[in-house]
């Protein structure tokens, strides 16, 4: 509850909690889904309801581990299967948001992002009875764990910002002894 508004925190302490999980995938055309059976318009965006047809793996992040999250959409139409086969998904952004609604009026109380990551691999399970699309995502937090690809030297600085001479004399100054005058020098 640390990132919820006061109204959102109050809604969670109530007897009835109305929640919808929103999924945003930045594909060629943005894919917006929600876990309810209704289409929801939130902040000008319409999230299509998938009801019980979709599944999101549990998101458990620990300080040293950011596991992949799998999204599964079952009961998919053949037209969606063909779109999934042609859509390049690897590296596209995905966000999972939680929307809280007032149980009495149905009005939106709060929307908060709970997960951000990048899509990885899509797989399709097609059988005569039904078809399902499954895609995994790796957490955006993994970017913080990766090493930097550049160094603090002149050649890398020129690649990033041509003409910036900030690191031009760094090699000349390595292990150079610098003697500062004592405070008595300025009291003359």
3-state secondary structure the chain: CCCCCHHHHHHHCCCCCEEEEEEEECCCCCEEEECCCCCEEECCEEEEECHHHEEECCCCCECCECCCEEEEEECCCHHHHHHHHHCCCCCCEEEEEEEEECCCCCCEEEEEEEEEEEEEEEEEEECCCCEEEEEEEEECCHHHHCCCCCCCCHHHHHHHCCCCCCCCCHHHHCCCCCCCCCHHHHHC
Share of the chain above pLDDT 70, in %: 88
111 contact partners, CB below 8 Å, separation of at least 6: 22, 42, 43, 97, 98, 99, 100
Average pLDDT of the segment spanning 86-109? 85
pLDDT for 4: 67
Task: Tell me the whole-structure pTM to 2 decimals.
Answer: 0.65
pLDDT for 162: 92
Q: What is the pLDDT of residues 122-142, one digit of tens each?
A: 888 777 777 778 888 888 777
Taking CA atoms, 13 is separated from 16, 88, 98, 102, in Å, by 9, 42, 16, 12
Instruction: Check residues 154 and 14 and name the one with the higher pLDDT.
Output: 154
Sign of CA dihedral 174, 177, 182, 185: negative
Where are the chain's structural domains?
6-145, 154-187
Instruction: Check residues 75 and 88 and name the one with the higher pLDDT.
Output: 88
Q: What is the pLDDT of residues 47-79, one digit of tens each?
A: 888 776 677 777 776 777 777 788 887 766 666
Average pLDDT of the segment spanning 181-185? 83
pLDDT of 1 > 50? The answer is no
Phi-psi region of 88 (alpha: psi -120 to 50; beta: other; left: phi over 0): beta
CA–CA distance, 34 with 24 (Å, rounded to integer): 9
Average pLDDT, the chain: 80
pLDDT for 19: 84
Q: What is the pLDDT of residues 18-51, one digit of tens each?
A: 888 888 888 888 888 888 888 888 888 888 887 7
């Amino acid at each position: 509850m640390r990132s919820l508004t006061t109204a959102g925190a109050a809604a969670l302490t109530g007897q009835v909690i109305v929640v919808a999980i929103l999924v945003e995938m930045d594909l060629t055309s943005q894919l917006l889904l929600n876990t309810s059976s209704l289409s929801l318009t939130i902040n000008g965006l319409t999230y299509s309801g998938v009801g019980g047809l979709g599944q999101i793996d549990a998101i458990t992040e620990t300080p040293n581990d950011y596991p992949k999250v799998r999204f599964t959409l079952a009961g998919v139409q053949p037209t969606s299967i063909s779109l999934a086969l042609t859509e390049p998904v690897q590296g596209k952004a995905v966000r999972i948001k939680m929307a809280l609604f007032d149980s009495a009026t149905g009005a939106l109380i709060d929307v908060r992002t709970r997960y951000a990551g990048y899509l990885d691999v899509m797989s399709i399970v097609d059988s005569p009875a039904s078809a399902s699309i499954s895609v995994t995502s790796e957490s955006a937090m993994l970017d913080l764990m990766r090493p930097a690809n550049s160094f603090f030297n002149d050649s890398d600085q020129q690649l990033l910002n041509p003409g910036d001479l900030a690191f031009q004399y760094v090699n000349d100054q390595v292990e150079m002894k610098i003697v500062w005058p004592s405070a008595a020098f300025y009291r003359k």
